[in-house]
Amino acid sequence: MSTPAHEALDRHATPWLFATALATTAPHFMHQPLWLSAVAGAMLLWAVWQWWKDVRLPGRWLLFLLVVGGSAGILGEFRTLFGRDAGVAMLVMFMNMKLLELKSRRDAMVVVTLGYFLLLTHYLYSQSIPTGIWLLAAMWLVTATLIRLHGGPSSRPRETLRYAGVLCLQAIPFMLVLFLLFPRIPGPLWGLPSDAFTGKTGLSDTMTPGSIAQLVQNGDIAFRVRFDGPLPPRQKLYWRGPVMEQFDGTTWHLYKGRQPTAQLESLSPPIGYETTLEAHNERWLLALDAPVALPAESLLNGTLTAISRNPINERKRFRLSASLDYRLNTSEDPAVLRRNLALPASGNPQTRALAAQWQAGNRPEAVIAKALALFNAEFTYTLQPPLLGQHGIDDFLFRSKRGFCEHYAAAFVTLMRGAGIPARVVGGYQGGEFNPLDQYLVVRQSDAHAWAEVWLAGMGWVRVDPTAAVSPSRIETGIANALAFGEPLPMLIQMRADWIRTLRYRWEAINNAWNQNILGYDPQRQRELLARLGLPDTDWRSLAIALGSACGLLVAGLMGWALYKRPEGDPVVRLWHKALRHLARRKVDCSPWETPLDLARRVREQRPELAEAFQRVVDAYLVARYGNTDQHLKTLRDAIAQLR
């Protein structure tokens, strides 16, 4: 173990370093610019080729140029050398460049250290179970490389890997203790760099024809819900997002001004539930209509949307409760009503005409019924509507008659406003998929939905879902059953075979358990756990003490175990058994009563090619074990090392 750092590198150890570089950089391929992966791969291949041919390594100037070129490329791509993406790109680049100057053991140690560091960077992108498994395996490999560089117990890969595996297994208790007891930082531990929150999908605060249809093609999970009681009926599961009151002819917008406070009157007992929201970089909590109790750091705005103080940029868990039947703002502010009657000054003349015709001599309820009857009679529910022209709603209502929920919601609200009924578009999610294995309701991006709300005197804001009139099954059974086969839905949602669904339920239940218990282990959960262990009201000091004592106990336990095991572990015998295992792999088995000399004789007969090397082992073993000296351990070890 005292090999000097500048000692030349063992040629046979180099492939380990290639493997380390590959295992720790390859997964970054998925979220890096292609040119960077190509350059890094080329460096690796170049290094492997040089090793294979035993060619001289590139000179200092060439390496210098490579470093400057690589850094310039990263600077050009990311406009910075810092932050998550640029920083990781630098690490990946330099890891593979380092392979081009593997001269001494010190260079190899740099690769190993970089390898360990690169392991961490993967958590900045993904904390899923497959990532965890991959990184554990990669850590095993990097540790094996480290052992191999220090000579290790033997130069054979299997022994090295076994040794590294034992080391990693021994680290597991410490990992668990640190995980459970290390003081938790509230907030996103793995999302520290500022550019970490880009590229999250979810509802947006505007709606154009086709925007939700596009979102629905994404199978990602939006949030998971567990109800305290039984699952409410599907057709009541409306998860409210942004409420869009302003229309410019094609796009629906949020009203950004001040809203009067919502006056909510609940008509049914509240239903408690816990929701685990995936990051979507917006502030709404997607609460079930109508929210009656909200978590801390959040509020209910005037349009009944539950809003968090900060954008949801990491997975978060909240407790909420909802009243499924309610009355909202029966006495509405006239300014709000005016806003919800406004239509663009021009456009969609046919729609306006139809609305005006309906308005004459009809009560609002009758107008609504006429509109729904219209949708029900002639319209088709599809993800692939034809393109609409300048008068989008006219085109939709009188010509194409094919559309997705946003078309129906937009057309319905336009008709209502034209007929003098205050109306607005509500974005959110509808329904969800109940996983019977872990009793969670999973709501995906494909459950995204848009519906309408109209204001009726004496009743306040009433939800009207025009999609239900076109395609009742969308609301009652979910989107997969509502659309014809062949619509561009996510594959996962379309799979209707039972075994695939069961498999998917299982995988999602495992993932959910992982999210809830591992990734969702926050300061709150830590306090709960410690309280259950009899350590209530922990501050960081008592946590540090608990951590220190747990680690101390572990170390003491392991040492005690090692000391207890020691009498059996005569190194001479261990080495001899190693040699015997080596023989056994070559089909020469030793009986326990067979003397080493007899065994050597038999090896001479059965495996003459091994005889000489094994005779040296036997001689060294006999002297070490039965001789009058204890200084022959090294001779024995060397002799065994030559058994190949």
Partner 1 sequence: MLKSTLSGLTGRPRAFDGVLEQAGRIILGKEHEIRLAIACLLANGHLLIEDLPGMGKTTLAHTLARLLGLQFSRIQFTSDLLPADITGVSVFERERSDFRFLPGPVFAQLVLADEINRATPKTQSALLEAMEEGQVTAEGQTRMLPTPFFVIATQNPAHQIGTFPLPESQLDRFLMRLELGYPDRTAERALLAAGGQRRRVEELTPLLTPDDLPALQQEASTIHAAGPLIDYVQALIEATRQNPAFLHGLSPRAGLALLAAARAWAWLAGRDMVLPDDVQAVLPAVARHRLRSAQGGGYALAEDIAALIRSVAIP
Token pair in block for residue 502: 């069961």
SS (H, E, C) 544-564: HHHHHHHHHHHHHHHHHHHHH
Q: Residue 20 carries which DSSP code?
A: H
Residue 516: how many other CB atoms lie within 10 Å: 19
575 is a site residue for partner 1 (CB under 8 A): no
485 is a site residue for partner 1 (CB under 8 A): no
- The nearest distance, CB 592 to partner 1, in angstroms, is 4
- The nearest distance, CB 604 to partner 1, in angstroms, is 8
Of 193-201, 358-366, 419-427, 585-593, the window that binds partner 1 (rule: CB under 8 A) is: 585-593
The gap from C-alpha 536 to its chain's centroid, in whole angstroms, comes to: 32
- The nearest distance, CB 620 to partner 1, in angstroms, is 9
468 is a site residue for partner 1 (CB under 8 A): no
597 is a site residue for partner 1 (CB under 8 A): yes
Q: State which of residues 62, 598, 633, 642 lies at the interface with partner 1 (CB under 8 A).
A: 598
Of 237-245, 403-411, 558-566, 594-602, the window that binds partner 1 (rule: CB under 8 A) is: 594-602
378: helix, coil or strand?
helix
Q: Tell me the catalytic residues.
A: 405, 449, 465
- The nearest distance, CB 564 to partner 1, in angstroms, is 20
Say what angle helices 349-359 and 364-378 make with each other, to 10 degrees: 130
Of 54-62, 330-338, 478-486, 623-631, the window that binds partner 1 (rule: CB under 8 A) is: 623-631
Return d(Cα 11, Cα 57) in angstroms, integer.
13
618 is a site residue for partner 1 (CB under 8 A): yes
Decide whether 499 or 626 has the Cβ nearer to partner 1. Answer: 626
Q: Which string of DSSP letters, residue by residue, matches 194-246?
A: GGGGTT-----SEE-TTHHHHHHT---EEEEEEESSSPPPGGG-EEEEEEEEE
Contact 51, 14 (CB under 8 A): yes
494: helix, coil or strand?
helix
Decide whether 158 or 566 has the Cβ nearer to partner 1. Answer: 566
3-state helix, strand, coil in the chain (%, to 5): 55, 15, 30
615 is a site residue for partner 1 (CB under 8 A): yes
Of 193-201, 371-379, 403-411, 596-604, the window that binds partner 1 (rule: CB under 8 A) is: 596-604
SS (H, E, C) 91-148: HHHHHHHHHHHCCEHHHHHHHHHHHHHHHHHHHHCCCCHHHHHHHHHHHHHHHHHHHH
300 pairs with which residues across the strands?
A: 306
Contact 209, 450 (CB under 8 A): no
380 is a site residue for partner 1 (CB under 8 A): no
Residue 323 sits at φ, ψ, to 5 deg, of -110, 120
600 is a site residue for partner 1 (CB under 8 A): yes
Q: State which of residues 204, 313, 619, 641 lies at the interface with partner 1 (CB under 8 A).
A: 619
Decide whether 240 or 616 has the Cβ nearer to partner 1. Answer: 616
Decide whether 349 or 627 has the Cβ nearer to partner 1. Answer: 627
Token pair in block for residue 141: 């490999």
Return d(Cα 296, Cα 309) in angstroms, integer.
9
- The nearest distance, CB 570 to partner 1, in angstroms, is 9
Of 66-74, 403-411, 577-585, 597-605, the window that binds partner 1 (rule: CB under 8 A) is: 597-605
626 is a site residue for partner 1 (CB under 8 A): yes
- The nearest distance, CB 606 to partner 1, in angstroms, is 15
560 is a site residue for partner 1 (CB under 8 A): no
- The nearest distance, CB 512 to partner 1, in angstroms, is 54
- List residues binding partner 1 (CB under 8 A): 591-598, 600-601, 615, 618-619, 622-623, 625-628
